[in-house]
């Protein structure tokens, strides 16, 4: 009997928490996307974090959590560079995390230098000039597409993925020549997608 009561109260308490979370989520959603992003930045509470350098910001919610994700869609990997390429902040419920590009004990928030931006610009100019693998209008990736640029001694190794297609190729650092291109298509997941709402306004 005692075990039954403990299970009953645990379930009732969990239902109460879920109900409270949903009410809080519904209330926060009324603030709108821009205000939720500002709340997430405030929660990070670090003067070194600047959301403008995270070009892909997602605000999403379900019945138990409300999350703001700041992501870098163009990741430059080069010697000595180490930074958070994604920062997820939970305004309600769980789901907070950080992921890192590079190898170090104390990564910094992403803030590219002029030299790093020049390397990224070179890659885009090479892609758009040659048009061997398609172009990237306005040097801006589509939502959900990620590009990794790994700097080697004489070339850049590029990997792009949008969840359905993956491309790999190399770009000569002097001439901009594209070589060793490989393209693969993924099988789409047939499972029903999770019921997550993307907040766009």
- Among candidates 44, 99, 50, which has minimal Cα distance to 75? 99
Report, as an integer, the average pLDDT of 103-114. 94
User: Does position 16 have pLDDT exceeding 70, yes or no?
Assistant: no
| Residue 2 DSSP one-character state | H
Q: And the tokens for 160? A: 């792009």
Task: Select from 120, 123, 119, 110 the least CA-distant residue to 72.
Answer: 110
Mean pLDDT, the chain, rounded, equals: 86
Neighbouring CB atoms inside 10 A of 39's CB total 15
Number of domains in the chain: 1
Per-residue pLDDT tens digits for 183-192? 888 766 656 5
| Other Cβ atoms closer than 10 A to 87 | 23
Alpha helices in the chain (DSSP H): 2-29, 33-44, 114-130
pLDDT mean over 97-105: 93
Q: Helix, strand or coil for residue 29?
A: helix
Beta strands in the chain, from DSSP E residues, in sequence order? 56-61, 66-71, 74-77, 83-92, 97-101, 108-109, 146-151, 155-161, 165-172, 178-185, 197-198
Residue 5 banded pLDDT, cuts 50, 70, 90: very low
- Res 189: pLDDT: 60
Asked if residue 82 lies in contact with residue 103, where contact means CB atoms within 8 angstroms, the answer is yes
Range of the domain at 113: 2-198
Q: What is the pLDDT of residue 11?
A: 42
Is 169's pLDDT higher than 60? yes
Q: pLDDT band at residue 19, thresholds of 50, 70 and 90?
A: low
pLDDT band at 114 (very low <50, low <70, confident <90, very high): very high
Say yes or no to pLDDT of 167 above 50: yes
pLDDT on residue 191? 60
- Model pLDDT for residues 120-150, shown as the tens digit of each residue: 999 999 999 876 777 788 888 888 899 999 9
184 phi, psi to nearest 5 deg: -135, 150
């Amino acid at each position: 009997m005692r075990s039954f009561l403990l299970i009953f109260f645990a379930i009732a308490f969990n239902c109460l928490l879920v109900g409270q979370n949903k009410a809080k989520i519904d209330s926060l959603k009324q603030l709108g996307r821009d205000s939720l992003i500002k709340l997430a930045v405030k929660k990070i509470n670090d003067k070194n974090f600047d959301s403008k350098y995270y070009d892909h910001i997602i605000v999403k919610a379900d019945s138990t959590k409300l999350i703001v994700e700041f992501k870098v869609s163009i990741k430059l990997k080069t010697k000595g560079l180490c930074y958070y390429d994604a920062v997820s902040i939970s305004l309600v419920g769980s789901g907070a995390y950080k992921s890192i590009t590079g190898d170090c004990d104390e990564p910094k928030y992403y803030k590219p230098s002029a030299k790093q931006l020049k390397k990224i610009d070179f890659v885009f100019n090479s892609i758009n000039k040659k048009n061997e693998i398609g172009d990237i209008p306005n040097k801006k990736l589509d939502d959900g597409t990620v590009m990794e640029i790994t700097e080697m001694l004489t070339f850049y190794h590029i990997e792009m993925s949008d969840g359905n297609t993956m491309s790999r190729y190399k770009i000569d650092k002097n001439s901009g020549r594209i070589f060793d291109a490989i393209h693969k298509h993924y099988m789409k997941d047939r499972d029903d997608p999770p019921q997550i709402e993307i907040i766009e306004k």
